[in-house]
Structures are given as C-alpha cells and as structure tokens.
C-alpha cells in the first residue's frame, strides 16, 4: 500500500528539499544523508500534493541500478510515479533520438554501436591506423563527444598525437551512413537537435515541467549542456530544475566528470537555492570527524558543509603503521579473524585500496587463512587477462610442450599467426606412440622447423617468437631475484606495451597488475628451480581459490576506492596510505584534491569501525623501497588512535597520548645532523643536496639529489662515511 506518512520520516532539511518549489534547487547531499529518500519522496510529493502529472516528470541518474532503485522507491510511495520518466542519461538520450531520429540523421530503428563496433568503423574509415591507434582514436572521439565537440571544432584540448579532426570527420561520415549511433551521440545529438530546432525545444519544455538530476557532481560537459537545453533556462522556461550531488564526492575526472558543473550550478541557473543535507545516518561521530578533517584540506571552490552524525560516539578510527605489505595483509586478516570471535561476519568487512594490483597480497593471505572473499568491480588477480598472458609466457618457457600456453601467446601481441596457422603447427607437432596416443614434440623446435613454410608475415612473427625464447634462455642469474627475469619476459614479449595501450584508453591498471606479478617473484632465485617454485606457489593459490569458491554472501569485500561510491560496510580498512600509492605520485593541484576526495569517500563508507594502514616498505618495480606516509593521514592524524611504529616526526605537535615515535636519542642525534637542505659530496655520485629526510621501520633515511640528476637514498647511521657534509 502507498505510504501516507512519508513526510513524517524526514528531518528538517530533507523536508525543506522535498517541499521546495519555484526557483532552481541544488540539494547538497553529504555522504549517508539520505539523498535517495529525498529524491523519491520529492517525486511522490509532487504527484500527491502538487498534482503534477507524472508524465511531465523527468529524473535522470548515471546507472541502471540507481534508476531502478529510484523508480521502485517512488512507486512504493505513490503508484502513479510509474508513469514518470526515471532513466539513466543515456537511456533518455536513446528515447529522445528514436522520437526525433530523422533530425539526427538516424534510422528510427538505429542500434547503438559499442566499443568494438566503433573500432571496426574507424578501421574502415582510416585503414592506415594500427590497432593501438584505432583504440586510441576511439577513446579520443568519445572524449570529444563528452565535451560536445564536433570534427569542425578545435580538439587541441584532447591532446591527440595524430590528426584527430580528420579521423573523427571520416568516422562520423561512416557512422551516419550506417544510420546508427554510438554512446557519445546519445547525449550530444539531443543537445544539437534542441539547439537547432526551436519547435522541438518548445515541445520538450512543455512536456517536462520537472527535471531532476541525481549525482550531479558526476556529470560531464555534454550532460550539463543537455540539462540546459531540456530545462530551457536560457529561454526563460518555467521548468523546475532540481539537482542533487556532493562536490566532496566528485572522483570521476578520468571518466570526463566535471566538478565545476555542481560548483557553478548557482551561476548557470539564476536564482538557485541551496539546501544542505548534513545529517549523516551511516557513520559514527568519530569516523565523520576524520572525514571532515580530510576534506577541509581542499581549497578548490568547495560549497562547504559539515557532516553531523546521527549516531553519537563510536571508537576512534585506528591508524596502523606496519613494516611492509606482507605485514599489512597479515594485519588485515588478523582483524577479520579476531572479529569473528565477537560475533562479526566476514561480510561486515571491506578492504579498500587505490589500484586493483593491490588486491593480490590480501587475496593470497585470505586464501591461505581460508577467509572467504569477493573482489568487486574486477576479476580476481590470477583471472585477469594480462596476468594470464604473462603466466602463459613463463609456463611455456618452463615447458615447451604446453599447448594451452602456446596458443595463448604465439599471436599475442599479434605476429600474424592466426588460428588456422596454429592448428597446422600443432598437427605437425603431434606423433602417435605405440599405443596410438598423441605425443607432443617440443613446440618451440617445431615452429623453428616449419617457419619457412609459413606466409611471409607469419614467418617473420615466428622468427621473433623463437628469438625471444632463445634470448630468455640465457637470462638466468642465481645472484639476482627471479623478478628480474619475469620483468624481462613481460618487456621483451611486448606484453607491457600491449597492455599499456589498454590502460591509456580504458583507464585500467593492467601494467600495474603486471608489475605486481613481478613484485611477487622477488623472494625467488633467478634459476629454473626458482621459476618452478614460483609457478608452484601460484598454482597452489589457484587451487585454494577453487576450493573456496562457494562462499555465498558471507565474504570479505576487496574493492578499489573508486568502486565503493554509493556503498557502505560495517567495518572498513583503507590500505596503502603512502606517498606514490595513495595519493599517486604524479598527482598535484586539482588532481591531488580529487585524490583527497577519494580518501573522504573511502572513510565515509564505514558505519562502525575504520582502520587505515601505512607501510614503511613496499615492493615496487621488483624492488623493496622505503615509503613515506601519505600526506592525507597526517592531515587527519588527530582523529586516529595510532598503533605500530610511527615514522620519525609524525607525532610532532600531536601529543604522546596519540602516537609514540619509539625512537631513542641515537636516532634523534642522527636526525639532528642529517637535515633536509644539507649540501653533501659522494665519491661516486659527486655534489648533491639532501632533499628529504624521514624515518622508516626505525631507521633514519635521507634522499640526496645529485647534480648528475640521480636521486639516491642513504641510511646515515651506517653510510655516513661515504657522504661528506660540505659547509656552505
């Protein structure tokens, strides 16, 4: 039955947002403040109390899941809400274009081209492009459409390495000739039609008297332009516009989202009233205190709000300083296991990280501890395409009769050796034994024998394949870690370059995943024995994974910070809070502020308990490296109970009740002598200056930038004799 007491369930600010009318409205909805309840209640209120025809209500959001939830909750309040148009931006665009197909140069029965279709069409439009260039051009054309840019516009802001205007123009002509559209068209073409045809714009303004947009901070330029056109704000239309969002949760710049859309909404829609939803119903007060300290460090045009906890108290969040990433995985697993004794469930826990590659350490630890887990938003580590590719190269090196690995790698990256050629090579490699059973010969030697019978292109590809494995056969060195060999396999096979192209275009982290595979090989010797031990360990992990498949709903969640948006968990652990990991090393200015907002999003996922981890050492690029704590955790340090051995100087000004440095007078003396800015000389590297000084795992570390351009780390306690302090 419809709910007749729906307004009584709202707090004062929520109610004000629901009953607001007249001027444009920006609902600034903080994390956990009940924004979906406000949107759905407002739809029902307009129908029930204001007699707005549901047919004239348009509400758009970004995901099908969110749209379905919005529709279900609105219908539960008033069944007539089923007639409102509650859709994603793209599904609305498709509806609009089917209605006005001829104005867009489309067939009314048009289909929407996916990424593969777009790539195929670009290849036909510009046959000279390589596969990598085609994928890059497809991405850049999509980006141009997100900015509502045509082939005739200046596309320099996209920074293409080729004549994008020409390729985009040829692609568009091909696309229009088919009578179909791509995803970018679903937003850009309605904008063009509404701007070009006043009669259609007038009809839309009369049709939709109420327009609501959810998650407005995630909108791109084309979506902002569409909202302007639909609302008729420039024409003085009486359409009521309400957008809901949170500038502090704008974390999708890499997908084209523009935080400026929400920051400048009051300027673009004159007379806008802002209602802030600041009461948080999810997290404890102590967790929100940490979130508030973090986000208030951003200075770029924030609309400013402060979350107020509906749930008072709660234990202080915990900041754990740990020796390395192995200790981090153990710490996380221990937390989970200890909580079970107190009645918690596996599903209470979520482990958050900045990049997908970081999941491997937790996956391995959980498998060996028999902790059920699910990886959200991506495949488990060993199921990822790039990892399977690398392991296939390594497995084939170890066993030249491995058909599965051979077929996976012989034409990846492309060598002109297709399926039919592979079948012929396999046939020539098979003989029958005395019992009539097939026996494979050495597949590498077989391709060496038969390469002259292949086509010119395939023969050249076979030559390169053979040379690769001949070279690798001479790369073992028992004095080096196996990671050196694995890194060479990935580089010499061009797998890194092949998957790097995918990273650039699709925003994935495949190269980082490959690097994490390299990191796991550090403990093994660079010998055939070490290689086989490495493969055995991976196969054991895969076997354990297969045994733990049936976990049901009760499992720990492993998830990237970006994928947590809109989710919540009882107990959250945010891992890898180190410079270069989170935030990423290359982030500065506005990008650094988005990284900080990402941390804020992670913190506000936690209902009851929050843990943050930071390690002193982490294996990066096949080597153990000293890490510095993320600047984010120092910004919010007062909100945390600190455990473990904090880095030197971390507790300054905080009071010893919060953190104990744990260093003696000896370390203090070293720190006093070797300070940042010191001019030094080294026999091997020459003149230099100390550009950083900090402590890790109880050891005081300095970083020296030399005049040669080299940057080196030293432990002055042990290496002072190699450095001479120059008195300026």
Q: What is the CATH number of the domain that holds 708?
A: 2.40.10.170
288 inside domain: no
385 and 523 in a single domain? The answer is: yes
Q: Is 29 annotated as a binding residue?
A: yes
Please report the pLDDT score of residue 662 as a whole number.
36
3-state secondary structure of 7: helix
Domain-ending residue, one of 254, 277, 300: 277
**Residue 355 assigned to a binding site:** no
Confirm whether residue 314 is marked as ligand binding: no
469 and 421, same structural domain? yes
pLDDT in tens, 316-371: 999 999 999 999 999 999 999 999 988 999 999 999 999 988 999 999 999 999 99
Cis peptide upstream of residue 709 (ω within 30 degrees of 0): no
Is 210 contained in some domain? yes
- Any idea what the CATH number is for the domain that residue 211 is in? 3.40.50.300
- Structural domain span for residue 86: 12-98+186-277
Q: Residues 159, 190: one domain?
A: no
Cβ atoms of residues 509 and 331 within 8 Å: no
Burial class from Cβ neighbours inside 10 Å (0-12, 13-18, 19+) for residue 628 reads: middle
Residues 376-400 have pLDDT tens digits of 877 788 888 999 999 999 999 988 8
Domain stops at, among 178, 208, 227: 178
Is position 31 annotated in a ligand binding site? yes
Residue 52: its H or E element: none
pLDDT of residue 279: 94
In a domain, residue 650? The reply is no
Whether residues 320 and 355 share a domain: the answer is yes
Query: How many Å apart are CA 83 and CA 78, to the nearest integer?
Result: 10
**Do both 170 and 195 map to the same domain?**
no
Residue 21 sits in the same domain as residue 78: yes
pLDDT for position 652: 46
What domain count does the chain have? 5
* Domain presence at residue 292: no
Q: List the one residue out of 376, 354, 357 whose CA is nearest residue 576.
A: 354
Give yes or no: residues 575 and 450 share one domain. no
Residue 62 in domain: yes
Residues 199 and 70 in one domain: yes
Go through 258-287 and write b for each residue having 16 or more CB atoms within 10 A of its CB, e for each that does not: bbbbbbebeeebeebeebbbebbebbbebb
Q: Domain boundary at 488, 509, 541, which?
A: 541
Give backbone dihedrals phi and psi of 654, rounded to 5 degrees, phi first.
-100, -25
* The predicted structure's pLDDT at residue 73: 94
Sequential DSSP letters for 640-702: SEEEE-PPTTTTTTT-TTT------HHHHHHHHHS-TT-EEEETTTEEEEEEEEEEETTEEEE
Residue 532 is encoded by which pair of tokens? 């086989």
User: For residue 103, is it within any domain?
Assistant: no
Residue 653, pLDDT score: 38
Is residue 116 one of the residues assigned to a domain? Answer: yes
Residues of the chain with pLDDT under 70: 1-4, 300-302, 438, 504-508, 543-552, 649-668, 696-699, 728
pTM of the model: 0.76
CATH number at residue 145: 1.10.10
Are 392 and 459 in a shared domain? yes
Structure tokens at 614: 């930071």
Judge whether 441 is annotated as a binding position.
Answer: no
**575 known member of a binding site:** no
Residues 572 and 672 both lie in one domain: no
Q: What is the CATH number for 444?
A: 1.10.486.10
Catalytic (active-site) positions: 35-36, 214-215, 249, 605
The Cα–Cα gap between 26 and 139 comes to: 32
In this structure, is residue 632 part of a structural domain? yes
196 annotated binding-site participant: no
276 is in an annotated binding site: no
Whether residues 499 and 415 fall in one domain:
yes
Residues 93 and 204 in one domain: yes
């Amino acid at each position: 039955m419809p709910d007749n007491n729906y307004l009584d369930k709202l707090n004062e600010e929520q109610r004000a947002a629901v009953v607001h009318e007249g001027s444009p409205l920006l609902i600034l909805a903080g994390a956990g403040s009940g924004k979906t309840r406000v949107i759905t209640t407002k739809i029902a209120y307009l129908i029930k109390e204001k007699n707005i025809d549901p047919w004239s209500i348009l509400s758009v959001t970004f995901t099908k899941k969110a749209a379905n939830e919005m529709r279900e909750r609105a219908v539960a309040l008033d069944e007539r809400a089923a007639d409102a148009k509650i859709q994603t931006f793209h599904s609305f665009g498709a509806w609009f274009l089917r209605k006005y197909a001829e104005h867009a140069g489309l067939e009314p029965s048009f289909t929407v081209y996916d990424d593969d279709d777009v790539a195929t069409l670009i290849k036909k439009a510009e046959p000279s492009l390589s596969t990598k260039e085609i994928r890059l051009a497809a991405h850049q054309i999509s980006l141009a459409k997100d900015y509502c840019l045509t082939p005739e516009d200046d596309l320099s802001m996209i920074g293409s390495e080729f004549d994008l205007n020409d390729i985009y123009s040829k692609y568009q002509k091909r696309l229009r000739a088919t009578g179909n559209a791509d995803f970018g068209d679903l937003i850009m073409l309605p904008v063009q039609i509404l701007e070009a045809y006043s009669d259609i714009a007038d009809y839309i303004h009369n049709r939709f008297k109420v327009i609501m947009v959810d998650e407005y901070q995630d909108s791109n330029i084309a979506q902002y332009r569409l909202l302007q056109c639909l609302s008729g704000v420039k024409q003085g239309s009486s359409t009521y516009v309400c957008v809901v969002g949170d500038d502090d949760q704008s974390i999708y710049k890499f997908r084209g989202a523009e935080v400026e859309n929400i920051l400048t909404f009051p300027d673009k829609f004159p007379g806008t009233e802002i209602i802030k939803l600041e009461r948080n119903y999810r997290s404890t007060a102590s967790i929100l205190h940490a979130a508030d300290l973090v986000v208030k460090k951003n200075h770029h045009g924030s609309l400013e709000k402060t979350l107020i906890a509906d749930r008072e108290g709660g234990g202080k969040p915990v900041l754990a300083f740990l020796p390395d990433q192995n200790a981090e995985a153990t710490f996380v697993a221990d937390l989970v296991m200890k909580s079970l004794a107190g009645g918690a469930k596996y599903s209470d826990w979520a482990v958050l990280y900045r990049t997908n590659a970081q999941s491997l350490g937790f996956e391995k630890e959980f498998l060996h501890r028999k902790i059920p887990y699910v990886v959200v938003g991506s495949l488990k580590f060993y199921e990822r395409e790039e990892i399977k590719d690398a392991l296939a190269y390594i497995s084939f090196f170890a066993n030249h009769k491995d058909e599965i690995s051979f077929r996976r790698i012989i034409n990846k990256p492309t060598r002109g050796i297709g399926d039919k050629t592979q079948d012929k090579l396999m046939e020539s490699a098979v003989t029958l034994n005395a019992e009539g059973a097939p026996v494979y010969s050495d597949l590498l030697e077989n391709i060496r024998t038969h390469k002259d019978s292949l086509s010119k292109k395939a023969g050249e590809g076979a030559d390169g394949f053979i040379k690769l494995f001949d070279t690798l056969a001479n790369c073992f060195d028992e004095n080096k870690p196996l990671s050196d060999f694995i890194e060479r396999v990935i580089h010499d096979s061009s797998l890194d370059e092949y998957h790097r192209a995918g990273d650039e275009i699709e925003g994935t982290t495949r190269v980082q995943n490959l690097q994490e595979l390299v990191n796991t090989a550090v403990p093994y010797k660079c010998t055939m024995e070490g290689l086989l031990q490495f493969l055995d360990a991976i196969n054991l992990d895969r076997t354990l994974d297969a045994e733990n498949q049936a976990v049901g709903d009760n499992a720990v969640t492993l998830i990237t910070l970006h994928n947590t948006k809109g989710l919540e968990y009882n107990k959250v652990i945010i891992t890898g809070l180190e410079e270069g990991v989170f935030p990423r090393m290359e982030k500065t200015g506005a990008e650094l502020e988005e990284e900080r907002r990402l941390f804020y999003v992670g913190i506000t996922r936690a209902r009851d308990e929050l843990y943050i981890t930071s390690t002193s050492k982490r294996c990066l690029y096949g080597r153990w490296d000293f890490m510095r704590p993320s600047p984010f955790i120092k910004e919010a340090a007062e909100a945390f109970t600190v455990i473990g051995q904090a880095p030197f100087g971390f507790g300054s000004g905080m009071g010893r009740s919060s953190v104990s440095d744990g260093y003696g007078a000896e370390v203090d003396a070293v720190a006093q002598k070797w300070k940042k800015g010191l001019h030094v000389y080294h026999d091997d590297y020459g003149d230099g200056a100390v550009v950083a000084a900090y402590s890790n795992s109880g050891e005081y570390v300095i970083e020296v930038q030399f005049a040669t351009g080299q940057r080196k780390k030293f432990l002055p306690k042990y290496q002072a004799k190699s450095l001479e302090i120059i008195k300026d």
